[in-house]
Amino acid sequence: MGAGGYTLQSKAGLSVPTTHLESKETNALKKGSLKKFQESFNWEGMVHQDGRRLIAVVVDEYSMVSATQLYWVHHRLQEATASTHEFGGVCIALFGDPGQLPPVGGTSLWRSDRDNTKSAISGLCKAGHDLYMAIQTVMELNVVRRQSGHYRDALMRLRDGKTTPEDWKDFWNKNCSFEGIGQQRSDEFKQDPSTLRIYSNNEDCRRENKKALKQSNHPIMRIQAEHDGLPGKRSSDKSAEACGELENTLYISKESKVMLRRNLATQCGLVNGSVGFVKEIVYENEHDPRKFSLPIAVIVEFESYTGAPFFHGESRRKWVPLRPQKQDINRSEETYRRQFSICLAYAITGHKSQGMTIRGKVLIEIGDKEATSGLLYVMTSRNTDIQNLCIGKSKPFERWSKNVQTKGLEKRLKEDERLRELASETRDFFGVDSR
């Protein structure tokens, strides 16, 4: 079942600020906005007109949440419920793997020093850290479902900076590098249009997507998102992250490779990360595509789609008509964005890949150094089958060992120990068998 949800930064969600995070005054909700914000959450049993009611807040991929952001989750929930209790008295659950990517431009929840300056944290960052450290109920999910066998074991050692020379030589290089898999297999990864490339930076992704789109030999359509049109709100300036991963400007063509950016029908295989190829771009009769207006539908063939067919003919059995999705930006101000929840999928960043499960071919560029703690682990752990993973040219053993043993890794390993102790205490308290 798709639970839906919002990004923390979305004002349709918790309105966690994206700038001046240390300033409560700058990011305070004004009287009118605060009233609408409180009404939208319908706390203490009040049911929204569409049946929704706030009962809990679940934060996924919590390794990417900074301490200051967690403080703002706490503060916004206090405002929503008019309560002085921690998180406004709302049940809050954090899910994720602390071994994955840390927050961009922020401090990890468990760190008492700042990564860039090594100085002690203070202010709202310290307040968010203290809120996190006060959480005592921990459950450890220790069975890996995505991978199995040697692949899983090698990943677990990589996660903790314990890759062995045997892992590097006899597993990663032998099974995944150009040198290990040979020229023919390497060419399959490079030439297969379904191969997803994962890079460590945005620049390489944009270059690869732009190059691949131009090579499609089809007219490229520019699709502008629709916005509320309210004067002074500048909704078109908002980032995709603040608008539920809906881009302001989308460039696609027939046969271009695209990826879903949200769950649409999980029971039918249409989930965040599903990859397909555009088959048709459908406009209203009176609409001129040269004005960059929204089509009424983009029809995409998803190999992962298992639902009932929308079109006649076996060749079109997996064609799915996508409609524009509306994402509220600020519910109290009635600002929004409408756009198709897709992006080009010839290449993505390691950060965007976190949380994805990929069953097709993946070609990653791991680089010569660990740009941020957990990057190599995240990029190599998206696949379900080692036969579908290629790491390009072989890198020295140091790239897999010394280069991943960062200060951030050292701090995180200590956090793992703390969490496991809390998980043991939690199991004992609830009488849960650890097997």
Q: pLDDT digits over 158-188, tens only?
A: 999 999 999 999 999 999 999 999 999 999 9
Instruction: Indicate whether 259 pLDDT > 80.
Output: yes
What is the chain's mean pLDDT, rounded? Answer: 88
State yes or no: pLDDT of 369 exceeds 50. Answer: yes
Residues 156 and 84 reside in one and the same domain: no
* Cα gap 379→78, rounded to integer Å: 37
Continuous segment of H or E residues that includes residue 203: helix 202-214
Based on the fold, state whether residues 191 and 87 are members of the same structural domain: no
Domain match, 279 and 178 both: no
- β-bridge partners, 93: 58
Closest C-alpha to 90, from 101, 111, 74: 74
Q: How many helices (H) and strands (E) does the chain have?
A: 12, 16
350 belongs to a structural domain: no
Same domain, 82 and 95: yes
State how beta strands 389-390 and 362-364 pair. Answer: parallel
CA 195 – CA 197 distance, rounded (Å): 6
Question: Which 3 state secondary structure label does DSSP give 366?
Answer: coil
pLDDT over threshold 60, residue 386: yes
For 21-79, what is each residue's pLDDT tens digit? 788 887 877 777 787 777 777 655 444 555 556 778 899 999 999 999 999 999 988 98
Total of domains in the chain: 3
Measure the CA–CA gap between 422 and 381, rounded to whole angstroms.
26
Average confidence (pLDDT) over 376-392: 95
Do 131 and 154 belong to one domain? no
Provide the domain limits for residue 235: 211-344
pTM over 0.75: yes
Task: Indicate whether 1 pLDDT > 50.
Answer: no
Burial 30-54 (b: 16+ CB within 10 A, else e): eeebeeebbebbebeeeeeeeeeeb
Which of the residue ranges 214-218, 378-382, 403-407 has the most confident prediction, judged by mean pLDDT? 378-382
Q: How confident is the model at residue 434 (pLDDT cuts 50, 70, 90)?
A: low
Q: Which two tokens stand for residue 139?
A: 């459950």
Is the C-alpha dihedral spanning 281, 286, 288, 292 positive or negative? negative
Residue 148 binned pLDDT confidence (cut-offs 50, 70, 90): very high
Residues 170, 273: one domain? no
Cβ atoms of 88 and 77 within 8 Å: the answer is yes
The reported pLDDT for the residue numbered 123 is 92
SS3 content of the chain, % helix, strand, coil (to 5): 35, 20, 45
What would the two tokens of residue 264 be? 């649409």
Tokens coding 106: 């922020």
**Conformational region of residue 80, where left means phi above 0, alpha means psi within -120 to 50, and beta covers everything else:** alpha
> CA neighbours within 13 Å on the CB side: how many for 148?
1
Task: Please check whether residues 153 and 258 belong to one and the same domain.
Answer: no
Segment 113-141 mean pLDDT: 88
Q: How far apart are CA 158 and CA 148, in angstroms?
A: 15
Q: Is 399 in the same domain as 411?
A: no
Tell me, yes or no, whether 56 lies in a domain: yes
